[in-house]
Amino acid sequence: MVLPGDLALRKAVRTAYQLDHLPSQQELLDIAETWRPYRSLATSYLFSAAFEPAGTPPVAPLET
What does the pLDDT read at residue 2? 86
Question: Which pTM value belongs to this model?
Answer: 0.76
Between the alpha carbon of residue 32 and those of residues 7, 9, 29, 58, the distances in Å are: 15, 11, 5, 24
Residues 22, 10: contact at Cβ < 8 Å? yes
What does the pLDDT read at residue 58? 60
Q: Put residue 18 in one of left, alpha, beta given phi > 0 → left and psi -120 to 50 → alpha.
A: left
What does the pLDDT read at residue 20? 95
pLDDT digits (tens, 9 = 90+) for 2-48: 888 999 999 999 999 999 999 999 999 999 999 999 999 999 989 88
- Listed by start position, the domains of the chain span 8-51
